[in-house]
Amino acid sequence: MKYQFESQRVSYPYFVAAMALFAAQILFGLIIGAQYIWPDLLFPAIPFNIGRMIHINLLVVWLIFGFMGSAYYLLPEEVEGEIYSTKLAMLQFWLFLVGGATAIVGYLFRWHDGREFLEQPTIIKAAIVVVVLMFIFNMIMTMIKGRRTTSITVVLLTGFLGLAVFYLFAFYKPANMTVDKYYWWWVVHLWVEGVWELIMAAFLSFLLIKLTGIDREVAEKWLYVIVGLTFLTGVIGTGHHYYWIGTPAFWQTWGAWFSAIEILPFAAMVAFSFKMIGKRSRQHPNRAAVLWTVGAAVLSFIGAGIWGFMHTLPQINFYTHGTQITASHGHLAFFGAYAVIVLAMISYAVPNLRKSTPGITRQKMEIFSFWTMAVSMIFIALALTGAGIVQVYLQRVLAMSYMDTQSYMKIFYVIRLFFGVTFAIGLIAYLYDFFTGNRSKQRHFGA
Amino acid sequence: MTKMSARNMFIVATVVVSAVFLYLTYLSHMSFAARTHSENITAQVEHGKKVWERHACIDCHTLLGEGAYYAPELGNVIERRGEPFVRTVLETAAVQGWGTTRKMPQFDLSKEDIDSLVEFFKWMNEVDTNNWPPNIEG
């Protein structure tokens, strides 16, 4: 068993919080998914807008918990030194948990702002900035004190710095709605189609090095190619959000060309993963972690890459903009890219933290959870794509009214909810394995 | 290709696209006033936007196609339904259902809030959206 850095343990509470919030996110997803079929469900106690706000805010919060926990796990191994301050990391953990929980509970009592995804009240936003700055400070100090600097840590730091910088645009609320929307995308797009991809690619490279034993030089070269493609395509690719919101028409040209090639970094991640797995010098005992890692590359390619490309050209987006097609892409992209990479990091890290990795003999439950969640999410995306196609044809082409159109989409909402339930079963399996599976292995090996 | 050349390409690409993006942002700013008729953003319109945000309307509706997809597009709602209909909905929401009985919560808006929201929608309707949506139904 490889030497473990004691301070890596600080990542564990982050993972536990991520799991709990993930479960809550899915619960609210099921509620609002059901409201599409039974609109009176929980109305007016939890109207759709509040449920949806909670569903997406929980997603963002648990992913950031996952990102930070993963970074705290990864950093000591990368820089070959302990975390600068585990006390600061724990203080930051509690501040984030209390801030996040306050925001979510506050939403139920209508304490919120009113811009999509940025509904956090200003004071909560300020707390988030403090939390992220604490994290970045801890990360930089760890890197300075460490014995080496790796490209993985540099790219990861760049990703987190970008996350912090672009979040600042959440504080800018101009009176002109078009200008508001313009900079709103600097948070939303430049996060998920920009700096978050750096964080994802850094984790992917780390996992592939650990799981396949490939040469670091090769992995880090790939990493720079992937993040180079990310910014090359994604920055001006922001233009695909600027087609119809009052912004100039030249964005249709710039947005189309650049966002059409936003698929490239995801294609590169797939190629990278398969090449490295093909060339692996050893069979890692943690097969589930390998599955999650390759799964992140493949599912992000499908969800973000293909499903994104599908409606990114203005000629198509003119008809699909603001329909269930967007929701379809959103679900598969977020799950495939960010949820799965965090689950991959957790899957790899937690058995190591429990010193139970060499004793892994069977991971049936975890592998079941991967396939259940992945297949369910693909069918959720397909159901919403079906709904979107009906909506585009009836509402956008035949000019049927919005609510009349919705009645023809109901079957797809039923299918979506069904696969929402199967997704939840997969998640329960993952959680069961997370909280009990590895513990029984630990007993066997007496770590 | 070596790791260093990959890194250098990453840096060069980032600098170049960021410069182009900032320049396009500058050009966009040059056009916002004319495209959005910003001279028509009165205090009332501004208040209307705040009412819009106070009740998180965007988490059910879309506005210029952005938002949630649970309720109709509102960027052109004044043109589609007319002002009296919009006022009725804002006053009587939750009392009546729409179509498949999806309901809007009753926000107990004051007369001033409703007036402002209507002015806000009127202003939104004038924004140059490059002819989106494809038809009046949004």
| Alpha carbons A321 and A392: distance in angstroms, whole number | 9
Backbone angles phi, psi at A329, to 5 degrees: -60, -45
Taking residue A123's Cβ as centre, other Cβ atoms within 10 Å add up to 11
Cα end-to-end span (Å), chain A? 11
Q: How far is B29 from chain A (nearest CA, A)?
A: 8
Q: Which amino acid is at A281?
A: S
What is the structure's pLDDT at A438? 54
What is the pLDDT, as a whole number, of residue B100? 55
User: How much is the pLDDT for B92?
Assistant: 85
Contacts of B27 in chain A (CB under 8 A): 248, 250
Q: Which residues of A touch B2 (CB under 8 A)?
A: 221
Pairwise CB contact (< 8 Å): A327 & B69: yes
How far is it, in rounded angstroms, from Cα B112 to Cα B106? 16
Which residue of A lies nearest to B36 if distances are taken between CA atoms?
A246
User: Residue B9 pLDDT more than 70?
Assistant: yes
Helices (H), A261-363: 263-278, 287-300, 307-310, 314-320, 324-333, 340-353
Could you report the per-residue pLDDT of A302-326, keeping only the tens digit for each?
Answer: 999 999 999 999 999 999 999 999 9
Query: Considering only CB atoms, which chain A residues are within 8 Å of B70?
Result: 32, 35-36, 48-49, 52
CATH of the domain at A275: 1.20.210.10
Which residues of chain B make contact with A324, given a CB cutoff of 8 A? Answer: 69
* Contact call for B35 and A177, based on CB within 8 A: no
Backbone angles phi, psi at A436, to 5 degrees: -125, -35
Geometric angle at alpha carbon A254, from B1 and A252, rounded to 5°: 150
A429: Cβ contacts below 8 Å, ≥ 6 apart: A365, A366, A368, A369, A372
Q: Look at the block and give the residue holding tokens 């990091």.
A: A345
Residue B62, classed as helix, strand or coil, is strand
Question: Of B9, B10, B120, B125, which to mutate for an interface test with A (greatest number of A Cβ within 10 Å)?
Answer: B10
pLDDT band at B95 (very low <50, low <70, confident <90, very high): low
Contact call for B14 and A36, based on CB within 8 A = no
Cβ contacts (< 8 Å) between A235 and chain B: which residues?
14, 17-18, 21
- B99 chain-A contacts, CB cut-off 8 A: 403-404, 406-407
**Nearest CB to B17: which of A35, A235, A244?**
A235
* Closest in B1, B45, B132 to A321, CB measured: B132
Residue from the list A32, A112, A116 with its beta carbon closest to the beta carbon of B67: A116
Q: What is the span of the domain harbouring residue A267?
A: 236-436
* A174 reaches B (C-beta below 8 A): no
pLDDT (tens digit per residue) in A114-144: 999 999 999 999 999 999 999 999 999 999 9
Q: Which residue of A has its CA nearest to B133?
A: A318
Number of domains forming the structure of chain A: 1
User: B63 forms bridges with which residues in the sheet?
Assistant: B66
CA nearest to B133, candidates B86, B64, B79, B72 = B64
A356 within domain boundaries: yes
- Which runs of consecutive H residues, i.e. helices, occur in A36-121? 48-79, 86-108
Interval B73-91: pLDDT, tens: 999 999 999 999 999 999 9
Between the alpha carbon of residue A63 and those of residues A30, B6, B32, B73, the distances in Å are: 19, 28, 35, 30
CB < 8 Å to A397, chain B: 134
Q: Give domain status of residue A161, yes or no.
A: no
B59–A52 CB contact, under 8 Å: yes
Whether A159 contacts B10, CB under 8 Å = no
Q: What is the pLDDT of residue A243?
A: 98
Q: How far is CA A316 from CA A78, A277, A333, A390, in A?
A: 44, 37, 19, 15
ipTM of the modeled complex: 0.96
Cα–Cα nearest to B60, from B81, B37, B89, B83: B89
- Is A43 domain-assigned? no
Residues of A (103-122) whose Cβ lies below 8 Å from B: 112-116, 119
Q: Which of A98, A94, A103, A104 is nearest to A28 (CA)?
A: A104
Instruction: Give residue A407's pLDDT.
Output: 93
Residues belonging to chain B: 138
Question: Which stretches of chain A drop beneath a pLDDT of 70?
Answer: 1-3, 437-447
The pLDDT of B11-36, averaged and rounded, is 98
How far lies A217's CA from each of A199, A273, B3, in Å?
A: 18, 15, 7
CATH label, B42-138, candidates 3.40.390.10, 1.10.760.10, 3.40.50.300, 1.10.1060.10? 1.10.760.10
The SS3 assignment for B60 reads coil
All structural domains of chain B with their residue ranges: 1-36, 42-138
Largest CA distance in chain A: 67
Q: What angle do CA B130, B131, B133 make, to 5 degrees?
A: 120
The answer to whether residue A266 is domain-embedded is: yes
Dist CA B16 CA B28 (whole Å):
18
